[in-house]
Amino acid sequence: MQHPVIPALASLVGPAYVLTDPAATARYTTDWRRNFPGAALAVVRPGSTEEVARVVAACAEHRIALVAQGGNTGLVGGSTPDDSGTEVVLSLDRMTAVRRVDPLDNSMTLEAGCTVLAAQEVAAAAGRLFPLSLASEGSATVGGVVSTNAGGEQVLRYGNTRDLTLGLEVVLPDGRVLQALTALRKDNTGYDLKQLFIGSEGTLGIVTAATFKLFAPPRKVVTAWAALRDPQAAVGLLARLTEVVGERVTAFELIGREALSQVLAHATPGMRDPLATPCDWMVLFDVSETSAVLDPAPAVEAVLGDAMEAGEVLDAVVAASGRQAHELWALREHVPEAQRLHGASIKHDISVAVSRIPEFIETAGAALRARFPGIRIVCFGHVGDGNLHYNQSAPEGMPEADFRAQEEAVHEVVHGVTARLQGSISAEHGIGRLKQAALLQHKQPLALELMARIKRAIDPANTFNPGRLLPPDLH
Binders in 348-377 for a second copy, by CB under 8 A: 351-356
* Contact call for residue 102 and a second copy (CB under 8 A): yes
In whole angstroms, give the CA distance from residue 313 to residue 236: 10
Binding positions for a second copy, 217-276, rule CB under 8 A: 219, 235, 239, 242-248
In whole angstroms, give the CA distance from residue 113 to residue 92: 5
Nearer to a second copy, 84 or 179 (CB): 179
* Contact call for residue 143 and a second copy (CB under 8 A): no
* Contact call for residue 39 and a second copy (CB under 8 A): no
Nearer to a second copy, 70 or 430 (CB): 430
Binding positions for a second copy, 150-169, rule CB under 8 A: 151, 155-156, 159-160, 162-163
What Å distances lie between residue 69 and 30, 92, 113, CA to CA? 11, 6, 9
DSSP 48-86: SHHHHHHHHHHHHHTT--EEEESSS--SSS-SS--TTS-
In whole angstroms, give the CA distance from residue 119 to residue 29: 25
Nearer to a second copy, 52 or 299 (CB): 299
By CB under 8 A, name the one of 294, 310, 405, 461 that touches a second copy: 294
Gap between the terminal Cα atoms of the chain: 31
In whole angstroms, give the CA distance from residue 152 to residue 118: 16
Closest approach of a second copy to the CB of residue 449, in Å: 9
| Dihedral class, residue 255 (left if φ above 0, else alpha if ψ from -120 to 50, else beta) | beta
By CB under 8 A, name the one of 1, 2, 21, 188 that touches a second copy: 188
Nearer to a second copy, 375 or 451 (CB): 451
Closest approach of a second copy to the CB of residue 160, in Å: 6
Closest approach of a second copy to the CB of residue 301, in Å: 11
* Contact call for residue 393 and a second copy (CB under 8 A): no
Nearer to a second copy, 165 or 393 (CB): 165
Only one of the segments 33-41, 65-73, 101-109, 264-272 lies at the binding site for a second copy (rule: CB under 8 A); that segment is: 101-109
* Contact call for residue 124 and a second copy (CB under 8 A): no
* Contact call for residue 321 and a second copy (CB under 8 A): no
Nearer to a second copy, 10 or 126 (CB): 126
User: Which residues are CB-neighbours of 176 under 8 A, at least 6 positions away?
Assistant: 53
Give CA angle at 39 (454, 400), nearest 5°: 95
Burial code (b: 16+ CB inside 10 Å, e: under 16) for 276-293 equals eeebebbbbbbbbbeeee
Closest approach of a second copy to the CB of residue 218, in Å: 8
* Contact call for residue 184 and a second copy (CB under 8 A): yes
Binding positions for a second copy, 396-455, rule CB under 8 A: 422-431, 435, 439, 442-444, 446-448, 450-451, 453-454
* Contact call for residue 61 and a second copy (CB under 8 A): no
By CB under 8 A, name the one of 111, 253, 286, 289 that touches a second copy: 289
Nearer to a second copy, 3 or 442 (CB): 442
* Contact call for residue 302 and a second copy (CB under 8 A): yes
Closest approach of a second copy to the CB of residue 26, in Å: 28
* Contact call for residue 475 and a second copy (CB under 8 A): no
Integer-rounded Cα Rg, in Å, for the chain is 23
Report CA dihedral (21, 22, 24, 29) to the nearest 10 degrees. 130
Nearer to a second copy, 42 or 235 (CB): 235
* Contact call for residue 193 and a second copy (CB under 8 A): yes
In whole angstroms, give the CA distance from residue 377 to residue 21: 43
Closest approach of a second copy to the CB of residue 107, in Å: 7
What Å distances lie between residue 451 and 92, 228, 455, CA to CA? 26, 42, 6
* Contact call for residue 105 and a second copy (CB under 8 A): yes
Only one of the segments 87-95, 102-110, 270-278, 326-334 lies at the binding site for a second copy (rule: CB under 8 A); that segment is: 102-110
DSSP state of 459: -
User: Long-range contacts: 111-114, Cβ < 8 Å, 24+?
Assistant: 111/142, 111/143, 111/208, 111/209, 112/70, 112/141, 112/142, 112/143, 112/144, 112/146, 112/206, 112/207, 112/208, 112/209, 112/210, 113/70, 113/141, 113/142, 113/143, 114/141, 114/142
What Å distances lie between residue 24 and 19, 40, 268, 287, 372, CA to CA? 6, 11, 33, 45, 44
Closest approach of a second copy to the CB of residue 357, in Å: 10
Closest approach of a second copy to the CB of residue 201, in Å: 9
- Give, for 365, the enclosing helix (H) or strand (E): helix 357-371
* Contact call for residue 473 and a second copy (CB under 8 A): no
Size of the site for a second copy (CB under 8 A): 98
Provide the 3-class DSSP secondary structure of residue 430.
coil
DSSP state of 464: B
Closest approach of a second copy to the CB of residue 124, in Å: 15
